[in-house]
A and B are shown apart, each in its own frame.
Chain A
Amino acid sequence: MKVLRMLGRSIRDAFKGVFRNFSLSIASISCITITLLIVGISMVLSYNAENVATLIKKDFSVVVFVENDATSEEVKNIKEQIENMDNVDSYIYETKQEVAEDMKESSAIFKVIIDSWDEDENPFTDTLSIKVKDLNKISETADELSNLNKVEFVKYGEGIVEQILVILDTVGNFLVGIVIALVLVTVFLVSNTIKLTIFSRRKEIEIMRLVGASNFNIKLPFIIEGLFLGVLGSILPIVLTIYGYNSLFNYMSLNEISPFLKLVNPSPFIYLISLILLGIGTIVGMFGSAGSVRKYLKI
Chain B
Amino acid sequence: MELIKIENLEKKYKTGVTAIYDFDLKVKKGDFIFVIGASGSGKSTLIKMLYREEKPNKGSIVIGNINVANLKNRKVYKLRRKLGIVFQDFKLLPRLTVYENVAFALEILGLTNKEIRNKTIKALELVGLKNKVKSYPDQLSGGEQQRVAIARAIVNGPKLLLCDEPTGNLDPDTSWEIMKVLEEINNLGTTVIMATHDKEMVNRMQKRVIVIEEGRLKKDYEKGTYENESA
Which residues of A does B touch, CB under 8 Å? 2-3, 5-6, 9, 20, 203-204, 206-215, 217, 298-299
Which stretch in B10-18, B74-82, B217-225 binds the other chain? B74-82
Instruction: Please tell me if the beta carbons of A3 and B91 are within 8 angstroms of each other in the complex.
Output: no
Output the least CB separation between B163 and chain A (Å): 13
Given the complex, which residues of B lie within 8 Å of A2, measured CB to CB? 110
How far is the CB of A93 from the nearest CB of chain B, in Å? Answer: 75
Instruction: Determine which of A207, A209, A214, A217 lies in contact with B93 in the assembled complex, contact meaning CB atoms within 8 Å.
Output: A207
- Cα distance, A61 to B93, chains bound together (Å): 73
- Chain B interface residues toward A at CB < 8 A: 51, 73-74, 76-78, 80-81, 85, 91-93, 95, 104-105, 107-112, 152, 156
- For B152, give its contact among A209, A211, A213 (CB under 8 Å): A211
Q: List 9 A-B contacts (CB under 8 A).
A: A203-B91, A206-B91, A210-B85, A210-B91, A211-B105, A212-B78, A214-B108, A215-B74, A298-B74
Set B80, B111, B112: member contacting A212, Cβ < 8 A = B80
Chain B residues near A298 (CB, 8 Å)?
A: 73-74, 76
Q: How far is the CA of A217 from the CA of B81 in the complex (A)?
A: 13
Question: How far apart are B134's CB and chain A's nearest CB, in angstroms?
Answer: 16
CB <8 Å contact, B81 and A207: no
From A9, A210, A299, B80 is in contact (CB under 8 Å) with A210
Bound state CA distance, A269 and B93, in angstroms? 47
* CB <8 Å contact, A214 and B77: yes
B91 touches A209 (CB 8 A): no
- The answer for the CA separation of A5 and B112 in the assembled complex, in Å, is 8
* Residues in A neighbouring B74, C-beta threshold 8 A: 214-215, 298-299
* Contact A6 B110, CB 8 Å, known A204-B93, A211-B152: yes
The reply to whether A211 and B108 form a contact with Cβ atoms under 8 Å apart is yes
CB distance from B67 to the nearest CB of A (A): 18
How far, in Å, is B108 (CB) from chain A's closest CB? Answer: 4
Return chain A residues, CB-CB under 8 Å to B105: 211-212
Q: Return chain B residues, CB-CB under 8 Å to A208.
A: 104, 108
- Rounded to whole angstroms, the CA-CA distance of A210 and B91 in the bound complex is 10
Inter-chain contacts of B78 with A (CB < 8 A): 212
A212 and B110 in contact, given A207-B91, A207-B93 (Cβ under 8 angstroms): no
**Residues of B contacting A9 in the complex (Cβ-Cβ under 8 angstroms):** 107
- Bound together, the chains give a CA A215 to CA B76 distance in angstroms of 10
CB pair A5–B110 under 8 Å, yes or no, is yes
Of the candidates B92, B109, B156, the one having the most CB atoms from chain A within 10 angstroms of its own CB is B109
Q: Are B76 and A209 in contact (CB under 8 A)?
A: yes
How distant is the Cα of A213 from the Cα of B78 in the complex, in angstroms? 9
Min CB–CB distance A228 → chain B (angstroms): 17
**B5 to nearest A CB, angstroms?**
22
CB-CB under 8 A from B95, the residues of chain A are 20
- In the complex, which of the residues B77, B92, B111 contacts A209, with contact meaning CB atoms closer than 8 Å? B77
A-B residue pairs, 3 tightest by C-beta: A212-B81, A212-B80, A2-B110
Residues of A within 8 A of B73 (CB): 298-299
